[in-house]
Amino acid sequence: MKNEQSLRRSMLIGKLLTYLFLIAGSIVMIFPFVWMILTSLKTLAESMQVPPTIFPARAVLENFTYAITSLPFVNLYINTILLIFFRVLCAVVFSSMAGYAFAKLNFRFKNLLFSLILIQMMMPSQIFTIPQYQMLAKFSLTNSIFALVFPGLVSAFGTFFLRQSYMGIPDEIGEAACLDGCNQWQTFTKVMAPLTGASVAALTVFTAVFAYADLMWPLVVNTDITMMTLSSGLATLKGQFTTNYPVLMAGSLLAMIPMLVLYLIFQKQFVEGISMTGGK
């Protein structure tokens, strides 16, 4: 009897500690975002008070005005959205086609060609950066949306990932479609592709998040401020307002709000999508 009581007590303590750790960790995770918001609402003078105030004495919006007037945010949003849109479109369409072919069709040199995909996945993207840049420069294609999308026109990882998804679909489904008179293309678009919805969603989230986070490539390829992405634009803002942190916080906030809102709505899809593609 006594034993059971002490067991129950130790379990209660364990539970308490679990919550304590999780909540403490959550505060550490959220605090930088809260601090960003609070700072963005302070005047420059207040932000430099020692000791710092937690809440702004008077919330001001001037920092957002500064950020918007010194960076063409509308362009940055549009460029980032177009970058994400085309990267996702290319990754999904081309990778679905190739993934299906590698999973379900027989052709010569299949293994050899597939090893091209695997080898690419193992190489860090920086090894391609200089020549990719030079190709664009040669044809005067820098400072364009095309330049932003360029390295992501095809996705080796997407092909690998969707191939696995197609391999999970039983062959009989495709064969049944064949008997009904579908050709390969129809079997693919009408029967097989719709069955990979979850994987395509995961690939979409993965591609979008990484396109949005990318910094080196947009910085290198689009130097014209109106052709930058939110990430590379923010890096430029840093150069302009080196120590004016309220403006920098306002700019950062503006840059991350769209993704944050999407995340709050599709939280489950984001977490599951990215963890499904895990290992990259």
Question: 170-199: which residues touch other proteins (CB under 8 A)?
Answer: 183-185, 188
Q: What dihedral angle (degrees, nearest 10) is formed by the CA atoms of 66, 71, 75, 79? A: -130
- Figure out which of the listed residues 13, 190, 198, 275 binds other proteins, where binding follows CB under 8 A: 275
Give the whole-angstrom CA distance, residue 190 versus residue 130: 41
Minimum CB separation of residue 131 from other proteins in Å reads 4
Whether 158 and 88 have beta carbons less than 8 Å apart is answered as no
Minimum CB separation of residue 267 from other proteins in Å reads 5
- Figure out which of the listed residues 68, 81, 97, 225 binds other proteins, where binding follows CB under 8 A: 97
Whether 96 and 155 have beta carbons less than 8 Å apart is answered as no
Minimum CB separation of residue 119 from other proteins in Å reads 9
Q: Residues 3 to 32: which contact other proteins by CB under 8 A?
A: 14-15, 18-19, 21-22, 25-26, 28-30, 32
- Decide: is 51 part of the binding site for other proteins (CB under 8 A): yes
Whether 199 and 168 have beta carbons less than 8 Å apart is answered as no
In the complex with other proteins, the residue whose CB is nearer, 34 or 61, is: 34
Whether 30 and 214 have beta carbons less than 8 Å apart is answered as no
Q: Residues 112 to 131: which contact other proteins by CB under 8 A?
A: 113, 116-117, 120, 123-124, 126-131
- 21: part of which helix (H) or strand (E)? helix 2-40
- Figure out which of the listed residues 95, 142, 165, 222 binds other proteins, where binding follows CB under 8 A: 95
In the complex with other proteins, the residue whose CB is nearer, 226 or 269, is: 269
φ/ψ of 232, rounded to 5, equals: -75, -30
Q: CA nearest 218: which of 280, 168, 145, 115?
A: 145
- Figure out which of the listed residues 68, 75, 81, 133 binds other proteins, where binding follows CB under 8 A: 133
Minimum CB separation of residue 27 from other proteins in Å reads 9
Minimum CB separation of residue 243 from other proteins in Å reads 9
Using the rule CB under 8 A, give the single segment among 49-57, 59-67, 140-148, 192-200 that binds other proteins. 49-57
Size of the site for other proteins (CB under 8 A): 99
Structure tokens at 67: 């950020």
Minimum CB separation of residue 169 from other proteins in Å reads 16
Distances (CA, A) of 52 to 5, 35, 57, 73, 248: 48, 11, 11, 29, 17
Give the whole-angstrom CA distance, residue 185 versus residue 97: 9
In the complex with other proteins, the residue whose CB is nearer, 60 or 97, is: 97
Whether 209 and 152 have beta carbons less than 8 Å apart is answered as no
Q: Residues 203 to 262: which contact other proteins by CB under 8 A?
A: 209, 212-213, 215-216, 219-220, 230-232, 234-235, 238-239, 242, 245, 248-249, 251-253, 255-256, 259-260, 262
Structure tokens at 70: 């010194």
